[in-house]
Structure 1
Amino acid sequence: MSSQYVLPNSSPVVNLDCLVAFNCLSAKEKLYTHYLSKAAWHGGLVVLFQTSPESPIIFVLLQKLFRAQPLDELKKLALGPACGFNQDEWQALLVYTSGLYANMGNYKGFGDTKFVPGTPQDKLKTLIWKSAAYISCPEMIENLWSWCGKRMYSLAEKELQLGLGDEGTTTYFSANCTMEDAKLVQKFLDAKAISPYNSRVFKTINDGKPHYDVRLASVNTPDLVEQSETADRVNHLGASEFEGTSFSVSCGDYSALMAYVATNLKKAKDHAANETEEAMLQSYIDSFTTSSLQAHKDGSRLWIKDKGPIVETYIGFIETYRDPIGVRGEFEGFVAIVNKEMSQKFASLVENAETFLPMLPWGNDYEKDRFLRPDFTSLDVVTFSGSGIPAGINIPNYDEIRQNEGFKNVSLGNVLSAGYKEEKVTFLSAGDVELYKLLKAPSFEVQVGLHELLGHGSGKLFSEKTDGIRNFDSEKIKDLETGEKISSWYAPGETYDSKFQVISSTYEECRAECVGLYLCLEPCILKIFAHEGDKAQDIIYVNWLNMVRAGVLGLEFYTPKTKKWRQAHMQARYVILRVLLEAGEGLVSVTKTNGEDGQPDLLVSLDRSKINSVGKAAIAKFLQRLQTYKSTGDLVRAEAMYVAYATVSDEGDTPFLCYRSIVMNRKQPRKLFVQHNTSVTSDESSVNISTYESSPEGLIQSFIERFTSTDVDDAIIDLWKKDQPNFPTE
């Protein structure tokens, strides 16, 4: 079995601590936090269904295994003569289970590759058959194992990574769909003005002809739509024909899980701080009940208006990284508490944003007519459900809201402090390692702030409405690359995601990262973060060095066989590395060396004396191209440029395809987060918070206590059974 697909037993587990912030909340705020967290966690189970056909059943099997008896008893059974585990095999089971919980599926949330248990299959089956879970319900356990046991361990070529058709596994589309099917469905959705954010697609063949069912997430199933008070808002449901092919749009996907979400949001609404929050939650409830994305957009508009809340939250189908064509959102929900001291820095950044935006290298014509000042707060996360936890967020992702009405930025402070410390720093010189360890956290804080606020928050999309009105003067606006009048823009109904599709996420992350690199050179910006003089210069150096090194580390997330990138941010950082290498003049170098262990190694070097000259000029030119193509909706030029930089080959002075093997041999395991649980007292008047040890055992215990009811197991199994015709496992 390839160790590449087994999480190492040394995988670090860290606690996402928020006790100080939580204990400062009022009783009402704690209840609000609790029910929002319950909604987020139950919605997060949707990600199991969005990841792989087997993930939901593996989750239920492991829940039943670890829930049925104390962990110490199960360990004693595993290590005893009946099962014959050794200590490493037991630890491997704990790590695999922790990884499945932390990623909400058996594919890495950061990198999209499959991971399998490091415990031998026969020994795991023996343990399950000897366990209290099997003794109490043998038929159920046998069924679960028969449904997922083989696939859990399978390393068939198509299952190694997420992707569509022959390129990998996806559950956003039925197993018989190809990229051609996906593109046709997208044309249909665009023609009908239906957003795909909360959808999946299932293809059947009837009388030799394809039929596509676009399923939307909702509590209401088709038979309940007519009874819904908001049914008039979901007027696109039903059958139709498009380009000679039959389509239907139906609701009710993930129905039972969406019901848990809606129920807990209703309870949270009773403890909201103001009418805006109440209306916001009601819009989310409407959306999750009926499948109306318009209702979710309305909730997002209200969320933007909820300025400076003590408890911050957002929930829904949000990030599109894992959809093969980049338009469907993965479910995500977070609940967090504002860190007032840290938020002051970000508030100052927002206050001065109009001064900083003109510093970007594309001029006023390419900037929004009016900067919509967002909330920008530092938060201590209480709950973050989904396939992974980012360091910062800029949402909502709806173009029409972000461009014309506003957005919010959040920096997740306890994620930064817990998750971004490296015990072992690879590919840097000894001198750089010392400075890097000292300043990575504060430099990354600067980068996150600039990336989210002035990266994702900047730039204008040139668009035309159905009435022919444009938000720009086509006679005046010049293409920043050619100097000629622009000749393309977004047609009515087109969005950035629908136009750029496959490259949309990584392209935008690259643009935001470049904005962070470019603007961190400004002393007035660094001063906001209390960095001046020599310290400021060191912060700049470490920020740029971190980006260059990340470009090399990104090679882990490239698959040579398919020539595909599996992670948007890491592809973006590799592209930036290529841009800086192309700048020449000794700015950046990546060379092969021998490590202290005698094995091949790499050395990443950055000439700090040339950052403000060669580096700044290269990023400025690249940013102009990125923004020009995005603003004008010019996918042809954008794709040609971006794909060229993202190519990994052995050609040239820096043979990255060869270097990738070195990166793989020296990669460090990614951290897994243990999160708190909250619970209400019997009279539902107050909330308790539980803490767990920073270990696989602690992470597993947190999930056992998070989902105590077998009703959730049953709901997952029922939903999985409905999915099976679309995902044959043999």
Structure 2
Amino acid sequence: MSDSSFAYTDERFADLQMLRYRLAGFSNLSLSQKKYVFFLSKATLVGRDITTDQFGEFNLLIRKTLEAVYTDEAVDRTTADFKGMEVYLKRVWFSNGIHHHYGCEKFVPEFSEAWFRKVVAALPRDVWERVGYTSADALLAVLCPVIFDPAVQPKRVNQAAGEDLVATSACNFYRGVSQQEAERFYAERRDPEAGDEQPSWGLNSKLVRCDGRLEEELYRTGGLYGAAIKQIVYWLKKAAEVAENDQQRKVIGLLVDYYETGDLRLFDQYSIEWLKEQEGMVDFINGFIEVYGDPLGLKGSWEGLVEYKDMVATRRTETISAHAQWFEDHSPVDPRFRKPQVKGVTAHVICAAMLGGDEYPASAIGINLPNADWIRARYGSKSVTIGNLTEAYNQAARGNGFDDEFVIDEPTRTSVDRYGDVCDDLHTDLHECLGHGSGQLLPGVASDALKSYGSTIEEARADLFGLYYIADAELVRLGLVPDAKAYESQYYTYMMNGLMTQLVRIKPGHQIEEAHMRNRALIAHWCLEHGKNVVELVKRNGKTYVKINDYPALRTLFAQLLAEIQRIKSEGDYEAGKTLVERYAVKVDPVLHEEVLARYRKLNLAPYKGFINPWMKPVEDADGNIIDIELDYTEGYAHQMLRYSREYGLL
């Protein structure tokens, strides 16, 4: 799918590399399908400000002020302070706020507070008036401590054991509420008559203290974020007019009803009907979905994704989903925790057409929804592997020297080079399509029983499912891997990442916070401890490497850990989950960390990647009717971000 005329890599700054992704096959869509993609894309972009505000109370205010400085022609753009501010602003755009999108720590500004005060004071008066302040001094009194004082809001999501995770997290999901109060509030919301079919309480609201009482501010038209949600609804209705079938129109209608009321039961109905829609070429995600941004794992960050099927690559995921019951029946977990009947598991490889909210600029490469365990159990799940984003990552990684530096020897490098892309894609498919959809909770176990450890345990469960099965002979028989040795490339790179190379994303002295990183560390360190003759860290020429001595035995370790992780999930064993995470997933060896960072610096690579969206431009005839949608891949990062702020700055 490579195209020599298409530039995958673009601008680089801080620890970030911007990439572009191609919409292969878009020109083959019908006009109606292109319009459907376009209108859904508008509904994806108008929610941008919601995510930014959810990630921090002052994020929008800071972004708007920095943009005013950045675009003010009177500001000297040649100074070191301006250049430092420019990088800071680009990071704010990338992370939807002032905290790192992955590590969640607050950015350290590389410009002085004195310079910032001077340039803001010199801005036209309407700048601070537009954001609700009567003077520059009043605005600066709010902004400067948040930007420059490292003690103010240091973490967007704090996961440190023993602390009040709500009070010490800067995310904007709570106001005047303690962790204990929030957990009690939502425990009391459970509806006894709903049994196991509980709505995802708290998913679409901010919990605040008002006149001494705890109240929810719902995200809906006429409520919190109403101006942006109203525009989401407008574009969803436009999309419904050109939808491919009646089921798509039904899905959009339910989503609109949910946005207009904030009723989580409607969101569940929407999710069920969304699962049933399988015939259309085009699909989308739009809403308050993933809960990684909330330390309690309750509140959904807003995100959007528009997609269309890659029919050739989808044959791989269809093969997996068609055999879902076999995988479930042969899982190495206690039979009590297996699903007796796997329902509605579907999977596709898709092309992302537009990314928004918590999926932009950094995006997942695989998604499995819905998240509600009871809906998965009764109705199934939809999984997607985002093929054109994976393609962009792979193209950007060609010949970058990473494997030469960190993979132990030439035979292992040859294996990774030969099988790596295939097995990475397959592990993602197994993780999303089957891993998240596997297993079941025992009766009476609440879906949030693992509390702040739930996200890490769930990601570990899905990863282990994929790791266990990627080595299975059944995958060779199904033609999903080329031979019985291919899985070894995935085992090696996974263990190398979990034990060593993901540390390039951690600052010296910090612990691991992000759920996916914790998951990989948990699996890798548990296997290292329990398989001393299976996998080890060795020194060669003064450098540390991962050495795997027995690949089949490593698979046995993955099976043992999967069985325990599934037990913890199924039984809601909070203490066991906490013990696993705190023992294996959090701490960083400072000596190894320093070594890995030094070796990585020599490669001059950016540890994080994100994407610039294509610019969709409608082509109209003389009467104003859309006759085509053109794709422009030339827009620069800063231009796109400033344009989005102008066109979609709704809050």
Give the TM-score range, shorter chain: 0.7 to 0.9
Aligned residue identity for 1:35: F
1:604 equivalent in structure 2: 546
- CA separation of 1:647/1:137 partners in 2, compared to 1, >3 Å: closer, same or farther? closer
2:173 equivalent in structure 1: 172
**SS of residue matched to 1:12:** strand
1:28 equivalent in structure 2: 32
Of 635, 640, 648, which residue of structure 1 is paired with 2:587? 648
Q: Does 1:583 align with 2:530?
A: yes
Aligned residue identity for 2:426: V
**Can you list the C-alpha shifts for 1:660-679, whole angstroms capped at 9, x where unaligned?**
34345547431121111224
Q: Answer yes or no: is the 8 Å Cα contact 1:301–1:401 preserved in 2.
A: yes
- 1:311 and 1:658 map into 2 onto residues whose CA distance is 49
1:16 equivalent in structure 2: 21
Question: Which blocks of at least 5 consecutive residues in structure 1 are unaligned?
Answer: 1-6, 221-251, 464-488, 596-600, 650-655, 717-730
**SS of residue matched to 2:92:** helix
Query: Shift of residue 342 of structure 1?
Result: 0.6
1:246 equivalent in structure 2: none
Q: Does 1:405 align with 2:370?
A: no
Of 427, 432, 451, which residue of structure 2 is paired with 1:501? 451
Matches within 5 A, 1:473-492: 489-490=444-445
Question: Which blocks of at least 5 consecutive residues in structure 2 are unaligned?
Answer: 1-11, 159-164, 193-197
Aligned residue identity for 1:545: Y
Of 326, 350, 354, which residue of structure 1 is paired with 2:321? 350
- CA separation of 1:628/1:150 partners in 2, compared to 1, >3 Å: closer, same or farther? closer
Alignment RMSD? 3.0
- CA separation of 1:513/1:429 partners in 2, compared to 1, >3 Å: closer, same or farther? same
- 1:316 and 1:555 map into 2 onto residues whose CA distance is 32
- CA separation of 1:44/1:374 partners in 2, compared to 1, >3 Å: closer, same or farther? farther
Q: Answer yes or no: is the 8 Å Cα contact 2:349–2:387 preserved in 1.
A: yes
1:510 equivalent in structure 2: 460
Q: Answer yes or no: is the 8 Å Cα contact 1:590–1:602 preserved in 2.
A: yes
1:429 equivalent in structure 2: 408
Q: Answer yes or no: is the 8 Å Cα contact 1:692–1:699 preserved in 2.
A: no
Aligned residue identity for 2:202: P
**SS of residue matched to 2:57:** coil
Aligned residue identity for 1:393: I
Query: Shift of residue 123 of structure 1?
Result: 4.8
Q: Answer yes or no: is the 8 Å Cα contact 1:106–1:116 preserved in 2.
A: no
**SS of residue matched to 2:218:** strand
**SS of residue matched to 1:336:** strand
Aligned residue identity for 1:384: L
1:229 equivalent in structure 2: none
TM-score of the aligned structures, taking structure 1 as reference length: 0.76
Query: Shift of residue 358 of structure 1?
Result: 2.4
Q: Answer yes or no: is the 8 Å Cα contact 2:456–2:519 preserved in 1.
A: yes
- CA separation of 1:586/1:291 partners in 2, compared to 1, >3 Å: closer, same or farther? same
Matches within 5 A, 1:461-480: 461-463=441-443
Query: Shift of residue 203 of structure 1?
Result: 2.2
Query: Shift of residue 322 of structure 1?
Result: 1.5
- 2:607 and 2:636 map into 1 onto residues whose CA distance is 18
- 1:189 and 1:558 map into 2 onto residues whose CA distance is 37
- 2:340 and 2:471 map into 1 onto residues whose CA distance is 25
2:232 equivalent in structure 1: 261
Matches within 5 A, 1:437-586: 437-463=417-443, 489-490=444-445, 494=446, 496=447, 498-526=448-476, 528=478, 530-533=480-483, 536-537=484-485, 539-551=486-498, 552-555=500-503, 565-586=512-533
The share of aligned pairs that are identical, in percent, is: 21
Aligned residue identity for 1:427: F
- 2:437 and 2:264 map into 1 onto residues whose CA distance is 22
2:206 equivalent in structure 1: 200
**Can you list the C-alpha shifts for 1:701-725, whole angstroms capped at 9, x where unaligned?**
123333434xx54x42xxxxxxxxx
TM-score of the aligned structures, taking structure 2 as reference length: 0.85
2:3 equivalent in structure 1: none
**Can you list the C-alpha shifts for 1:562-584, whole angstroms capped at 9, x where unaligned?**
86x42111101001111211233
Q: Answer yes or no: is the 8 Å Cα contact 2:65–2:127 preserved in 1.
A: no
Matches within 5 A, 1:333-372: 333-362=304-333, 364-372=335-343
1:232 equivalent in structure 2: none
Of 89, 110, 122, which residue of structure 2 is paired with 1:97? 89
- 2:393 and 2:355 map into 1 onto residues whose CA distance is 14
Q: Answer yes or no: is the 8 Å Cα contact 1:391–1:416 preserved in 2.
A: yes
- 1:106 and 1:579 map into 2 onto residues whose CA distance is 34
2:5 equivalent in structure 1: none
- 1:155 and 1:182 map into 2 onto residues whose CA distance is 26
Matches within 5 A, 1:687-706: 687-693=628-634, 698-706=636-644
- CA separation of 1:91/1:30 partners in 2, compared to 1, >3 Å: closer, same or farther? farther
**SS of residue matched to 2:289:** strand
Q: Answer yes or no: is the 8 Å Cα contact 1:677–1:706 preserved in 2.
A: no
Range 423-432 or range 396-405, more displaced: 423-432
Q: Does 1:112 align with 2:45?
A: no
Q: Answer yes or no: is the 8 Å Cα contact 1:377–1:411 preserved in 2.
A: yes
- 2:414 and 2:632 map into 1 onto residues whose CA distance is 33
Q: Answer yes or no: is the 8 Å Cα contact 1:428–1:605 preserved in 2.
A: no
Aligned residue identity for 1:200: K
Of 653, 658, 662, which residue of structure 1 is paired with 2:595? 662
**Can you list the C-alpha shifts for 1:561-607, whole angstroms capped at 9, x where unaligned?**
886x4211110100111121123343222246776xxxxx5322223
Range 25-34 or range 666-675, more displaced: 666-675
Aligned residue identity for 1:99: R
How many residues align? The count is 605
**SS of residue matched to 1:672:** strand
Q: Answer yes or no: is the 8 Å Cα contact 2:31–2:628 preserved in 1.
A: yes
Query: Shift of residue 430 of structure 1?
Result: 5.0
Of 139, 148, 172, which residue of structure 1 is paired with 2:143? 148
Query: Shift of residue 33 of structure 1?
Result: 0.9
Matches within 5 A, 1:276-287: 276-287=247-258
- 1:134 and 1:542 map into 2 onto residues whose CA distance is 58
- 2:86 and 2:29 map into 1 onto residues whose CA distance is 34
